[in-house]
């Protein structure tokens, strides 16, 4: 018998729009990580609209669970209302027999959905002043309808999905719709609220249920409509038996293959067929936000004395941090500082190292937001722009920009030469391309020259970390 399924919401902090679209929360047989983000304003209008359009296109081309709606959710037709009234009244009499038109294959997920339905009703009662039984009933009817209409689109296995379903709501929103978004997040879907001008005008206690990212520009932007499945085309009486077909699944993140009852399948880590990946050129402000995925490493000896510091890069959500071997060598244990986190994380887990290519992998007991790693779609070119992030001289997560100035073989090891200013303490830090992808680990600088710095190339990074992270 499988344990009760649970969902963790916003376990880590999202710091950009592209991060929301790309993130795929951890999933096990009993637990799923999801995200509920309010993205208010924008940094760059063109980039803002391009990222939304690219996410729409990616979802359509790869047919994974995705829905975007503007200003309001659809409502049941008058002819359907009576059915939902009867179902809600039955729920009031027999809560344990609550029946949705939509059903997961996994019974533990159906139990979770029922619990979340009751939770949403209680949340509505607590946050709505002067609520009456009639008002609660009207909200319950809407919830039943929204679950029937949107869940079959989001939680479907027709597309061999490799990522979590995404629900995007833009424009003005009411409290009832906001609670439904929270219900989605509590049931395994990543949720994004977009408003280029102002935050959602709902109860403050409801706002605490999501994380917020406020951008510098706040002005009206027309977000275009998207051609997508019509939720009203879904049968209102979708029987449970139909969900046993090959076109049904437990959660959107499951892979194709034989259905296994009471088990959520997890995408394989490596060597999977990957859908076309949309990449966005980022503004420097967006690239600087990736600093939250670069850490400062303090190296301690057996006398508990810190005798050197360096940098490291989050390369896996399970706590994996990539750095230089020369940063961690000689240490008995390590102290890790993460941006916007007052805690220090200590570890002696040196999982892997290679002195020849100057790479090492350590792990801390913390969920992380990893940096995307460049996979070599095209050769890196001399003159292309790069950004370096590290902690030179203990100055936590300094950001500098420059260009790729050359390619060197040091002891038969391919290195990227770049001009972004770096200093002692930056070793182990990230060198990124303009897509925010890791192309190298900063490893050395030539003191006699100006801005002559070297990084271990992604060509050595990829085989070194193989098996520790999921392939994109």
* 74 token code pair: 């659809």
Task: Number of helices (H) and strands (E) in the chain: give both, helices first.
Answer: 10, 20
Weakly modelled stretches of the chain, pLDDT under 50: 1-2, 157-162, 233-277, 447, 449, 471-472
Q: In what order do the strands lie in the sheet with 359-363?
A: 344-347, 333-337, 294-300, 306-314, 320-323, 359-363, 350-354
Helix axes 133-154, 175-186, angle to 10 degrees: 50
Give the pLDDT of residue 26. 76
Question: Where in 275-332 does DSSP place strands (E)?
Answer: 294-300, 306-314, 320-323
* Contacts of 141 by beta carbon, 8 Å cutoff, 6+ apart: 76, 81, 84, 85, 88
User: Which residues make Cβ contacts (< 8 Å) with residue 387, sequence separation at least 6?
Assistant: 284, 287, 288, 399, 400, 401, 420, 431, 432, 434
The predicted model scores a pTM of 0.54
- pLDDT score recorded for residue 271: 37
């Amino acid at each position: 018998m499988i344990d009760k399924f649970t969902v963790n919401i916003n376990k880590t902090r999202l710091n950009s729009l592209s991060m929301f679209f790309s993130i795929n929360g951890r999933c096990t047989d009993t637990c799923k990580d999801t995200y509920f983000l309010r993205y208010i304003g924008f940094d760059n209008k063109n980039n803002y609209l391009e990222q939304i359009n690219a996410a729409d296109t990616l979802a359509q081309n790869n047919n994974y669970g995705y829905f975007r709606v503007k200003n309001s959710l659809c409502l049941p037709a008058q002819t359907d209302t009576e059915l939902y009234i009867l179902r809600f009244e039955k729920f009031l009499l027999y809560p344990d027999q609550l029946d949705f038109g939509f059903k997961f294959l996994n019974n533990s997920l159906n139990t979770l959905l029922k619990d979340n339905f009751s939770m949403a009703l209680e949340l509505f009662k607590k946050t709505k002043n002067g609520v009456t039984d009639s008002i609660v009933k009207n909200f319950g009817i809407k919830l039943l309808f929204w679950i029937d209409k949107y869940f079959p689109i989001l939680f479907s296995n027709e597309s061999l999905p490799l990522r979590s379903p995404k629900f995007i709501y833009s424009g003005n929103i009411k409290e009832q719709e906001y609670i439904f978004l929270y219900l989605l997040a509590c049931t395994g879907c990543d949720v994004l609220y977009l408003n280029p001008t102002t935050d959602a005008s709902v109860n403050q206690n409801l706002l605490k249920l999501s994380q917020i990212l406020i951008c510098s520009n706040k002005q009206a932007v027309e977000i275009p409509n998207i051609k997508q499945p019509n939720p009203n085309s879904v049968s209102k009486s979708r029987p449970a038996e139909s969900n046993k077909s090959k076109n049904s699944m437990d959660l959107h993140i499951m892979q194709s293959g034989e259905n296994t009852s009471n088990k959520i399948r997890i995408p394989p880590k490596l060597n999977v067929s990957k859908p076309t990946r949309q990449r966005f050129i980022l503004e420097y402000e967006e690239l600087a936000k990736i600093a939250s995925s670069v850490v400062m490493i303090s190296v301690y000896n057996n006398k508990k004395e810190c005798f050197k510091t360096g940098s490291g890069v989050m390369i896996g959500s399970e706590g994996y941090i990539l750095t230089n071997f020369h940063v961690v060598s000689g240490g008995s244990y390590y102290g890790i500082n993460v941006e916007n986190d007052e805690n220090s994380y200590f570890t002696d887990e040196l999982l892997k190292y290679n002195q020849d290519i100057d790479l090492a992998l350590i792990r801390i007991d913390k969920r992380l937001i990893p940096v995307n790693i460049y996979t070599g779609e095209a050769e890196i070119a001399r003159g292309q722009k790069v950004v370096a992030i590290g902690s030179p001289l203990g100055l936590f997560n300094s950001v500098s920009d420059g260009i790729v100035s050359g390619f060197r073989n040091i002891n038969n090891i391919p290195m990227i030469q770049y001009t972004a200013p770096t200093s002692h303490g930056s070793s182990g830090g990230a060198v990124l391309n303009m897509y925010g992808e890791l192309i190298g680990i900063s490893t050395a600088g030539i003191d006699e020259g100006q801005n002559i710095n070297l990084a271990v190339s992604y060509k050595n990074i990829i085989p070194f970390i193989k098996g520790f992270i999921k392939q994109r």
